[in-house]
């Protein structure tokens, strides 16, 4: 056993070994961040394509790391998933957003709409259903963005039951990253979403490439036929925003309008945007 243990170790490249050490350190820091309640919500504005009015915001998770700076989910979600703490992080994020909404309201701002990122599997968590119902009891419209890549695995009765509870509470269901996975059309029949979010990679070439314009036009047509509204993500230029508005996309989101920002910055952004 000793022998085989050693030879297995020798298969590790120095890079892999460093990676494992980094993951272990990150795992400890994630646990610590959870205990200190260090994960924070950021907010990225969404505007209506037709009149550029403020539609709402997507809630995006951030971790102000003590030495690495502000971290985005791709930098730590894989390790958090291995630790099985993503449900706790997501739940706590929703609670924190309730607190943010209360602070905004106290300052005279009622957020029109907020959407949260959830893997489809989270829908089976009764706490998620309960927290989202509490959130949607207020004046802000609430939406759940489900990654289309996670939909294919989620057919069970509990998923459908909880999805219905969420719908009954007036919460919108969105399919995220539409067009980037293999389950796109299956997802449409499985969950009958209220909203499709068109993936950034489809949006990027829309101003220059007629083929990508045609593809987006076809997606928008499917959505309209099914009574589903549409959001384009990753809008970085005015040319993209114009092309998407001409094609009939309903809502635009991307750096062209605003990057994800913290609670105070979003309040200032929203006030300036509404007053413009
Ligand atoms: P996503 O849901 O597709 O989120 C959009 C990502 O695109 C965000 O990255 C956002 O900062 C970025 N983005 C926004 N506008 C632009 C743009 O104009 N150009 C470009 N190039 N990028 C733009 P972020 O915040 O790093 O999030 C990455 C992914 O992490 C998200 O992808 C989502 O799948 C996941 N995620 C974010 N927040 C949460 C959360 O609270 N819980 C969970 N479970 N996952 C989350
Ligand atoms: Ca999203
Ligand atoms: Ca997305
Ligand atoms: Ca994405």
Please tell me the distance from the alpha carbon of residue 136 to that of residue 134, in angstroms, as a whole number.
6
Please tell me the distance from the alpha carbon of residue 140 to that of residue 105, in angstroms, as a whole number.
10
The yes-or-no verdict on residue 84 having pLDDT over 70 is: yes
Query: What is the distance in A from the centroid of ligand 1 to the CA of 119?
Result: 13
Ligand 1 atom at minimum distance from 60 CA:
38
pLDDT of 183 reads: 61
Q: How many CA atoms lie within 13 A of 64 on its CB side?
A: 8
* Mean pLDDT on 233-247: 98
Q: Are 181 and 198 in contact (CB under 8 A)?
A: no
Q: Ligand 1 pocket, 49 CB below 6 A? A: no
Distances (CA, A) of 263 to 59, 198, 206, 252, 270: 10, 26, 31, 20, 11
Ligand 1 atom at minimum distance from 260 CA:
11
pLDDT of 1 reads: 41
The model's pTM is: 0.92
Ligand closest to Cα of 198 equals 3
Could you identify the residue written with the tokens 């460093």? Answer: 18
Does the active-site annotation cover 238?
no
Q: Are 166 and 172 in contact (CB under 8 A)?
A: no
* Mean pLDDT on 33-56: 97
Select the more confidently predicted residue: 111 or 158. Answer: 111
| pLDDT confidence tier of residue 137, bands split at 50, 70 and 90 | very high
Q: Ligand 1 pocket, 61 CB below 6 A? A: yes
Predicted confidence (pLDDT) per residue in 47-62, tens digit = 999 999 999 999 999 9
Q: Ligand 1 pocket, 254 CB below 6 A? A: yes
* Mean pLDDT on 75-102: 94
Q: Mutual orientation of helices 238-247 and 210-225 as an angle, nearest 10°?
A: 40
Give the mean pLDDT of the chain: 90
Q: Are 196 and 175 in contact (CB under 8 A)?
A: yes
| pLDDT confidence tier of residue 2, bands split at 50, 70 and 90 | very low
* Mean pLDDT on 132-138: 92
Q: Which of 107, 84, 100, 109 has its CA nearest to residue 34? A: 84
Predicted confidence (pLDDT) per residue in 162-212, tens digit = 889 999 999 999 999 998 876 667 778 778 899 999 999 999 999 999 999
ipTM confidence score: 0.96
Q: To test ligand 1's pocket by mutation, which of 38, 63, 80, 117 has the most ligand atoms within 8 angstroms of CB?
A: 117
Q: Which two tokens stand for residue 19?
A: 């990676």
Ligand 1 atom at minimum distance from 199 CA:
3
pLDDT of 3 reads: 47
Select the more confidently predicted residue: 180 or 217. Answer: 217
Select the more confidently predicted residue: 80 or 14. Answer: 80
pLDDT of 52 reads: 97
């Amino acid at each position: 056993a000793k022998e085989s243990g050693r030879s297995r170790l020798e298969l590790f490249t120095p890079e892999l070994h460093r990676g494992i050490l980094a993951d272990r350190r990150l795992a400890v820091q994630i646990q610590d961040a959870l205990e200190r309640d260090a994960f924070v919500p950021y907010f990225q504005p969404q505007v209506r394509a037709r009149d550029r009015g403020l539609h709402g915001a997507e809630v995006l998770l951030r971790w102000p790391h003590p030495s690495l700076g502000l971290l985005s989910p791709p930098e730590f979600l894989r390790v958090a998933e291995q630790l099985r703490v993503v449900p706790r992080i997501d739940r706590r994020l929703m609670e924190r957003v309730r607190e943010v909404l209360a602070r905004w309201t106290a300052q005279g701002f009622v957020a029109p709409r907020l959407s949260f990122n959830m893997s489809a599997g989270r829908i089976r968590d009764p706490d998620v259903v309960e927290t989202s119902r509490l959130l949607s009891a207020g004046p802000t419209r609430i939406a759940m963005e489900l990654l289309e890549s996670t939909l294919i695995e989620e057919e069970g009765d509990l998923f459908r039951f909880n999805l219905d509870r969420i719908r009954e509470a007036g919460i919108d269901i969105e399919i995220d990253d539409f067009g980037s996975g293999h389950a796109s059309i299956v997802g449409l029949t499985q969950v009958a979403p209220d909203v499709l979010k068109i993936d950034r990679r489809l949006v990027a070439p829309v101003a220059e490439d007629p083929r990508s314009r045609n593809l987006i036009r076809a997606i928008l047509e499917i959505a309209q036929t099914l009574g589903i509204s549409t959001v384009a993500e990753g809008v970085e230029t005015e040319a993209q925003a114009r092309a998407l508005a001409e094609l009939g996309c309903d809502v635009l989101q991307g750096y062209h309008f605003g990057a994800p920002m913290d609670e105070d910055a979003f309040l200032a952004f929203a006030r300036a945007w509404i007053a413009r």
